[in-house]
Structure 1
């Protein structure tokens, strides 16, 4: 993975870059700050989730996979969010699934929108994907607004799609078509 090619400045102070194992402690601090905010939209987390050593190992493992790009939003060295493109498939489909969140202290600054737009641009121009997909809880209106501002369209609804906050939850399914090029061809 060429981390430099997958790095983008979102603002004068915030950068989107590939995660590093040494981001673990800062990531955990952001997760703890945002614990209540993200609880309705994420799986229930055991206390072990908040152990920096767990995430240092998890980040190192993610960096070895060819079907995941794990980014962090950083201000200096402080993690203030993440964006992860997973389930990347090449060949005829050329698709990836995006998930993202922003630290509760940074919400409302447009960072999720900037990060999602940047991920889509990188997915198109560097990863040579055709489509990025996302799902949101049916009542996560803030995330749906971010997706729509970034050109995603709702294409479906999935009952009992993800186990979130202790229960199977319905999800709205979104996607953004990035280009109409032949599979694997770079932009002109």
Structure 2
């Protein structure tokens, strides 16, 4: 089972890291800039139909530095967790994509929204399915949340498979839900609750 590992940072706050069989997830660091730039730049046309509109200016080093700072602050506040996904290869690692757990809500809600992206060269290899699975113990055990919400474009079958393989179920349809590539787009809504997750985990242990 993937578990949270606490690593020292330059502040008293820990750097959250999650690990699975092939992958590791952690918050971004400035040392990741070159790999992030190359992956996003080379995957731009692949990602364009699925993301909010962005330009080359959004790939700048200063923009990335702001992203790193914000990711750290949000994680320390417990509101959002922006993970980079790395493929472990020997003693090295390769950046392959990202996962965001955003808009954490407490009190009566106890949910978080899940989003993710994968570099074109690494798509279709089951990596995002594994990456999402690594986040589930963190959400339900470490953060002790009750629900994960996710949404995808109706034609995005790859995203549907990622969620279904991780136990998410279809819950609805949202008209003009998010602005994607400059247009308001409909989305299919999926969700995973803690009870369903725990039932699936218990069943796996009995096999």
Give TM class, smaller chain: 0.7 to 0.9
Instruction: Indicate whether 1:116 and 2:125 are aligned.
Output: no
CA gap of 1:56–1:79, structure 2 versus 1, over 3 A, is: farther
More helix by share: 2
In the TM superposition, residue 3 of structure 1 has moved relative to its aligned partner by 4.9
> Match for 2:52 among 38, 43, 55?
43
Asked if structure 2 preserves the Cα contact closer than 8 Å seen for 1:162 and 1:169, the reply is: yes
Structure 2 counterpart of 1:150? 166
Instruction: Indicate whether 1:29 and 2:45 are aligned.
Output: no
In the TM superposition, residue 105 of structure 1 has moved relative to its aligned partner by 1.1
Q: Secondary structure at the match of 1:63?
A: helix
Indicate the structure (1 or 2) with the bigger Cα radius of gyration: 2
Structure 2 counterpart of 1:52? 61
Structure 2 counterpart of 1:84? 100
Asked if structure 2 preserves the Cα contact closer than 8 Å seen for 1:8 and 1:15, the reply is: yes
CA gap of 1:3–1:42, structure 2 versus 1, over 3 A, is: farther
Which ranges in structure 1 are unaligned for 5 or more consecutive residues?
Answer: 181-188
Asked if structure 2 preserves the Cα contact closer than 8 Å seen for 1:21 and 1:57, the reply is: no
TM-score norm. by structure 1 comes to: 0.87
User: After superposition, what is the alpha-carbon deviation per residue over 1:25-58, rounded to whole angstroms, capped at 9, x for unaligned?
Assistant: 3212111121111111001112211213211211
The count of residues paired between Structure 1 and Structure 2 equals 179
The separation in 2 between residues aligned to 1:111 and 1:17, in whole angstroms, is 15
In the TM superposition, residue 68 of structure 1 has moved relative to its aligned partner by 0.3
Asked if structure 2 preserves the Cα contact closer than 8 Å seen for 1:82 and 1:102, the reply is: yes
The separation in 1 between residues aligned to 2:62 and 2:93, in whole angstroms, is 17
Asked if structure 2 preserves the Cα contact closer than 8 Å seen for 1:23 and 1:56, the reply is: no
CA gap of 1:26–1:3, structure 2 versus 1, over 3 A, is: farther
RMSD across aligned positions (CA): 2.0
Structure 1 counterpart of 2:20? 10
Which ranges in structure 2 are unaligned for 5 or more consecutive residues?
Answer: 8-14, 197-207
TM-score norm. by structure 2 comes to: 0.80
> Match for 2:73 among 54, 64, 70?
64
The separation in 1 between residues aligned to 2:121 and 2:158, in whole angstroms, is 16
